[in-house]
C-alpha cells in the first residue's frame, strides 16, 4: 500500500517552454501533497505544500508564478515549471500523505528535468 507515482520519470525540454509533472497517489487519498527539489548529492529541498482544493503554500524563495502547483483531487497533484530555463534543471520529487497527524509521507520515484 501507499504507492505514489510520478509522470514523466524524465523530461528534456527547450529553454522557454513549460513542463508539467504529475503526481498520483494510487491506493490512498492524499489530502496533502508535497513537492521537493533535489540537486545531485544534496538533501531534499521542500518547495511547496498543497492541500486538496486549496492553494499551495510555497516555501520562502520559491517563485509561485514559476512553479505552479495544482491539487485538484485527492489523488492528483501537478507541478508546472513555466518558462523553464537551464537553472531549473533538477530532480523533482513529490510526496503524499493523508494529512492525519499520525501519518507520514510517501514519496514518488521522482522526475528528472533537463532544460537545454
Contacting residue, 70, 82, 89, 107, with another protein by CB under 8 A: 107
Sketch the per residue contact string, 25 through 64, with another protein: x for CB under 8 A, - otherwise. -------x-x------x-xx--------------------
Stretch binding another protein (CB under 8 A), from 12-20, 68-76, 80-88, 108-116: 108-116
∠ CA 58-8-50 to the nearest 5 degrees? Answer: 20
Joined together, the cell numbers standing for residue 18 give 513549460
Spatial contact of 31 and 98, defined as CB atoms under 8 Å apart? yes
Task: For residue 59, give every residue at least 6 positions away whose Cβ sits within 8 Å of its Cβ, in sequence order, or none.
Answer: 45, 46, 47, 48
Q: Is 75 in the site for another protein (CB under 8 A)?
A: no
Least gap, CB of 31 to another protein (angstroms): 10
Cα distance between residue 79 and residue 70, in whole Å: 7
**Interface residue list for another protein (CB under 8 A):** 2, 4, 6, 32, 34, 41, 43-44, 91, 93, 95, 99, 101-102, 104-110, 112
Amino acid at each position: 500500500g501507499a504507492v505514489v507515482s510520478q509522470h514523466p520519470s524524465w523530461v528534456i525540454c527547450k529553454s522557454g517552454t513549460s513542463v508539467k509533472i504529475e503526481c498520483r497517489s494510487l491506493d490512498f487519498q492524499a489530502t496533502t501533497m508535497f513537492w521537493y527539489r533535489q540537486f545531485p548529492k544534496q538533501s531534499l529541498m521542500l518547495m511547496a505544500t498543497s492541500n486538496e482544493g486549496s492553494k499551495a503554500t510555497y516555501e520562502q524563495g520559491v517563485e509561485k508564478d514559476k512553479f505552479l502547483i495544482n491539487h485538484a483531487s485527492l489523488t492528483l497533484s501537478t507541478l508546472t515549471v513555466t518558462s523553464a530555463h537551464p537553472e531549473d534543471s533538477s530532480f523533482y520529487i513529490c510526496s503524499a500523505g493523508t494529512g492525519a497527524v499520525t501519518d507520514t509521507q510517501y514519496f514518488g520515484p521522482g522526475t528528472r528535468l533537463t532544460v537545454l
